[in-house]
Chain A
Amino acid sequence: MDDKVAIVGVNYAQGDDLGLTRERLCFNAVRGLLDQLGIDRHAIDSFILASNDFLEGRTISNVFEDGPVGAYLKDETKVEMDGINAVVYGALRILEGNYDTALIIAHGLCGHQVSPYLQVQYSLDPTYDRQLGLLNELSGAALQAKAYLRRHGLDEGWLDRAAAWELSCGASNDKVTRKLEGVDEAKVSSSAYLYEPLRELHCYPPTDGVCAIVMASAGRARELTDRPVWIRGFGSSIDSYYFAGRDLAVSPSAGEAARRAYAMAGVDDPASRIDLAEVSGLFAYQAPLLAAAMGLAGEEEAPHRFASGEMGKDAPLSLNPSGGALSAHPVCATGAVRVAEAFRQLRGEAGAVQAGEPKLALAHGQDGLCLQQNTVVILGI
């Protein structure tokens, strides 16, 4: 897609316990971003929230958030999925023609307020899976991890190395306030088993987080910033709910989502065209699995290249230099944070985790069990 829709600013925060009510958290994120851009809430034509009623413990959870995000007497709606989908919706609204700007605000307080595992737990079939009581986000991921390890002849040591690598990236990221210093392979392999082969540190941490993103049409974007980041393409896809019938070592819907995004972005050879990818891998095996699914690395080589650090910030294609979702997973905001990380990378504003001078980046978000639903956004500068 040509220069039609851009991201002009982001403001996000993540941590174990951000110590704020969600209203205050969202207000801070939006206020900070509007101040950064030198505009007020009246400059925003459309507000798109991303959060989850179950995790907030209240139905129509956006009713008390509209005020704090500035949506009073404005056009407002809520996407109840990973926040990356709110970014896609924002682009659709701007492309329609009636809106010049959109504010995306995604957040979750699973760090301290409620268990993040409930996101998947409540989504499971209440007439079967929940009654059987065997399936949950972790046991499902463990079966997928097993399938992935077997497919590629990997052992548990590989899982430890992959996790240690990704967490070491997160340790350098000022946007991840989780204490990650000193997390190495030994620390990972001595963390407790949850469902074999997955240990605690192979799995994402419960995280609080908020991510505000302002998007704009071409003309307006150039007024708001001299370095707009353009949405080049996006795509989304979904696999069968019945995970036992799927080949768990791969993610067809992640591949399909990426294919659609590449088609819209005119990207023929992603492995050479994409400079940076931020994918929402919730467990240590997922980042390389997703990278291969999206054509960013070969299936056989992806796990080795990733865990050895060959896809780090100095590589021609950097994968999750931010530390990814393994370092911080604010449920509902994670995919939006991947977009925000890609945004600051493209603008050279990523500080200690800056991965060279990327021109074209991929951001990914997921929902469901074992990578059931995936959304990909391609951004360029």
Chain B
Amino acid sequence: MALRPTPINPSQTPTGPTPTLPHDHLLALPRSLLPLLAGVGLAAGLHFYVGPAVGPFYAKLLIDIGIGILLANSLNLVNGLTGQFSIGHAGFMAVGGYTAAAITYYGSMRLWGSPAVHGGFLGSGELLFAGSCIAGGLVAAVAGFIVGLPSLRLRGDYLAIVTLGFGEIIRVLLQQTGDVLLTADQVRETPWWVLPTKAGGALGFTGLPYYTSLFWVYFFVTVVLIVSLRLKHSSLGRAFLSIREDEIAAEAMGIPTTRLKVTAFMLAAFFAGIGGGLFAHEIGVTLNPQDLGFQKSFDIVVMVVLGGMGSISGVTLAGGLLTVLPEILRSLADPAVAGLAAIFPISPQTQDELRQVIGSNFRMILYALALIVMMIGRPQGLFGLHEIWDFRWPGRRRSRLSARGAP
């Protein structure tokens, strides 16, 4: 199975024999693992060479970008491919994050007596962390099932409200949890089913070890990218797209729309849960319920909408760009205000306020305006449903297109 995307428009299907291996060929399996291995290699390269070379600040920025890409692609599965409007995604992040945090923290306490980082690269500590992230994703998928099943039966507008409400309920429930246990003895005495209720409440889950590294972030990013790309061009993905285009027609063609919508929802929640786990163990983050609310959900929605709902490359680009936007604005605030002050007479007080507005408030206003203008002017976002390699870039040889049977 080649990675080259097959075109969506049936008039563009290749007319000639395609140079692919049949599925049961001996060499098919290793070839299909090639992208995954390449991704793992890339992640390792980032972790060992790029990370130390650029310094901790840029490394953290790269981690943030990776998590942003992961979350944006996870939401793309629901909002983009299936066309359902979910705006409570941060709730699934919270579920996954807290599950992963509880497993890592209390697991470390039980196994090694302290919550500090244990073992080196791919050591037992990191494997526990990876396992807990995946467990967090699974729990989030279950939550996605519980939330999705009643609301996906109905019209799309309701899903938005229900997911929003779900995010709020999760926040309230998480705030009721008790203090985090600090010593190994306390952890040993408490039965394991009580431990999840000791998640720190409103203060947050403090004391988590910093396991999130460039390697793990980009490993999971690779997984989600591969899954998304493969899904988009598989029959399941086409079913999703058909639901997005016209749900009633899809139902008429025999596609079980509710079941597939719930599947997409669960898949998205799974990856959001993994994203939450990575977020929880990131350096400088105290996982707390207030920060995984509507604001965060909205940030992810903006990434998906601006990048083009359904376009994986578009969403990836938008996810990365919007993650670093606050930093860019912060860097631009000073020179911008200095430039303005050179033209207009502005008092220092107003300059301070302007600096603050450009650095902070402006971002949200920019997002809101960008959304509105995008929807009116270019609703398909940056790339629409296409990928970055579907466009006719200048310099692209005609022969490649004709080999694919373009008209």
Same assembly: no
B residues near A (Cβ < 8 Å) are: none
